[in-house]
Structure 1
Amino acid sequence: MTKALIVVTNNPKFEKLYKATGIWLQEVAHFNKVMQDNDIDVDYVSPQGGYVPIDPLSLAPDAMDPVDWEFYLDNDFRNQHLAKSLSPQEIQPTDYQVVYFAGGHGAMTDFPENKELASIALTIYNNDGIIAANCIGVSALLAIKLVDGHRFVNGRKLTSFTNDEEALNGLTNDVKFLPEDELKKAGAHFEKEEAFKSHVVVDGRLITGQNANSATAVGEAVIKGLLK
């Protein structure tokens, strides 16, 4: 049975601001929906396990679509996946063929230096699995290092939330770092399209999306990758 591991943040607050954050619901719901429609089971893991906050801005009326509402109103999603996410210690990487790092500004704090999540992802990848990530969730890839010490992203084509998009959010000076800058520094070949337009980059078994609107396309690219 094919299984996907969705990685989500525990962080409810911007590091520099008294401003609530968490997962961006669309990024989780839309990817999960693609997995669900293709009969792929999912588990949720977070850096600490347990409660997963939702960025309140992602629940705004103009941000929610039918898929978002489907998951937001689903008892299992709220009371199990988000309220009782698994911890890294509970994960057996060989059980999964896909790992997906979901974004939201919360991920900027507890993904980029998390060695446990990095180890899980690399094990899945080394077992011929797929690493997928979206938006700020792509920053989790910064923590993955190969046996020879090189960064996993070095020399790879990818995308993430862009400097332009963060500037349009008005948060350039308030976030911990800019994912686009850090991924480039780590040697990635960064690609981007128009701000907030769905954009996915596939580099073998590495699949990345630029922003929240890319989550469905990332999921669809994962399905294509599994069928190869």
Structure 2
Amino acid sequence: MHKRILHVVTNRGHYDDPGRKTGLWLSELSHAWDAFAAQGYRQDIVSPAGGVSPLEPRALKWPLLDASARSWLNDPARMALLERTAAPEEVDADAYDAIYFTGGHGVMWDFPGSTGLQDITRRIWERGAIVSAVCHGYCGLLNTRLADGRLLVEDRRLTGFSWTEESLAGVAKHMPYNAEAEMKRRGARYGKALLPFVPYVVTDGRLVTGQNPASAKATARQVVKMLKA
């Protein structure tokens, strides 16, 4: 049987200021998609509300727009997948071997409060499958509670986009909250690379997290490694 992966993307296209656009950081999806496709895995995309997932404009400019993301942009069939993502209630969590939360600043608004995504994540985790996230995607794990009431991230080692990276990117003042601090407040054992913006992946059991966009390939490869084990 082929393995099956559920990607999670945002529906949010702007910051609190509607004139400041954001959305999915495309390479965080495309790099993982490529890695999973190379293994023949089946892949689907869900978002908090279903429907359109807008793209982060900054990720579509050189040098951030790499060959993987450019290939996605030039493929009408793949672009169409982001026009009609599934809603959580349309997803059978029991069908997936792993869930992969993508980033982009939009997720900071619509991932944490999605009870539908929380339910899918809980069911995947408690079945013994893999939960993974890259960059801001870890915001989707902030409020997920397990059947016993504990937060999934409590006392677990993980990483995600750091507050230092927010500051260096010049967007910290526009953030709705400090994701790194919120993770620590929930009891997560947050860690990060010594240098910002370099690939960094943390694995704690079946939880796999990558720190930033540069970590997407390594995060996906770690998920593949675990699925093959």
- Band of TM-score, shorter chain: over 0.9
Task: Specify the alignment match of 2:170 in structure 1.
Answer: 170
Deviation of 1:49 after TM superposition, in Å, equals: 0.7
C-alpha distance in structure 2 between counterparts of 1:120 and 1:76, whole Å: 26
C-alpha distance in structure 2 between counterparts of 1:202 and 1:171, whole Å: 28
What is the percent sequence identity of the aligned residues?
35
Task: Specify the alignment match of 2:125 in structure 1.
Answer: 125
Deviates more, 1:8-17 or 1:208-217: 8-17
Residues 16 and 175, structure 1, Cα contact 8 Å, conserved in 2: no
Confirm or deny that 1:15 pairs with 2:16. Answer: yes
Deviation of 1:160 after TM superposition, in Å, equals: 0.5
C-alpha distance in structure 2 between counterparts of 1:123 and 1:148, whole Å: 13
The C-alpha deviation readout for 1:70-121, integer Å capped at 9, x for no partner, is 1111111111x10110111110011111100000000000001211101101
The C-alpha deviation readout for 1:201-224, integer Å capped at 9, x for no partner, is 000100000000100000000011
Residues 109 and 176, structure 1, Cα contact 8 Å, conserved in 2: yes
Deviation of 1:17 after TM superposition, in Å, equals: 5.7
Unaligned segments of structure 2, at least 5 residues:
none
Deviation of 1:41 after TM superposition, in Å, equals: 1.1
Which amino acid letter does the alignment assign opposite residue 15 of structure 2? F
Secondary structure in structure 1 of the residue aligned to 2:103: coil
Task: Specify the alignment match of 2:49 in structure 1.
Answer: 48
C-alpha distance in structure 2 between counterparts of 1:110 and 1:218, whole Å: 22
C-alpha distance in structure 2 between counterparts of 1:170 and 1:45, whole Å: 29
Q: Number of aligned pairs?
A: 227
TM-score normalised according to structure 2 size: 0.97
Which amino acid letter does the alignment assign opposite residue 93 of structure 2? P
C-alpha distance in structure 2 between counterparts of 1:226 and 1:37, whole Å: 13
C-alpha distance in structure 2 between counterparts of 1:18 and 1:11, whole Å: 13
Task: Specify the alignment match of 2:189 in structure 1.
Answer: 189
Confirm or deny that 1:147 pairs with 2:147. Answer: yes
TM-score normalised according to structure 1 size: 0.97
Task: Specify the alignment match of 1:31 in structure 2.
Answer: 32
Task: Specify the alignment match of 2:158 in structure 1.
Answer: 158
Confirm or deny that 1:107 pairs with 2:134. Answer: no
Task: Specify the alignment match of 1:203 in structure 2.
Answer: 204
Secondary structure in structure 1 of the residue aligned to 2:173: coil
C-alpha distance in structure 1 between counterparts of 2:141 and 2:70, whole Å: 29
Residues 21 and 104, structure 1, Cα contact 8 Å, conserved in 2: yes
Unaligned segments of structure 1, at least 5 residues:
none
Deviation of 1:16 after TM superposition, in Å, equals: 4.3
Task: Specify the alignment match of 2:136 in structure 1.
Answer: 136
C-alpha distance in structure 1 between counterparts of 2:110 and 2:100, whole Å: 15
What RMSD in Å do the two structures reach over aligned CA positions? 1.0
Which amino acid letter does the alignment assign opposite residue 224 of structure 1? K
C-alpha distance in structure 2 between counterparts of 1:99 and 1:76, whole Å: 22
C-alpha distance in structure 2 between counterparts of 1:15 and 1:140, whole Å: 19
Which amino acid letter does the alignment assign opposite residue 132 of structure 1? S
Residues 17 and 174, structure 1, Cα contact 8 Å, conserved in 2: no
Deviates more, 1:183-192 or 1:169-178: 169-178
Task: Extract structure 1 runs of 4+ deviating beyond 3 A.
Answer: none
Residues 162 and 180, structure 1, Cα contact 8 Å, conserved in 2: yes
Secondary structure in structure 2 of the residue aligned to 1:112: coil
Secondary structure in structure 2 of the residue aligned to 1:173: helix
Task: Specify the alignment match of 2:83 in structure 1.
Answer: 83
Residues 160 and 208, structure 1, Cα contact 8 Å, conserved in 2: yes
C-alpha distance in structure 2 between counterparts of 1:116 and 1:143, whole Å: 12
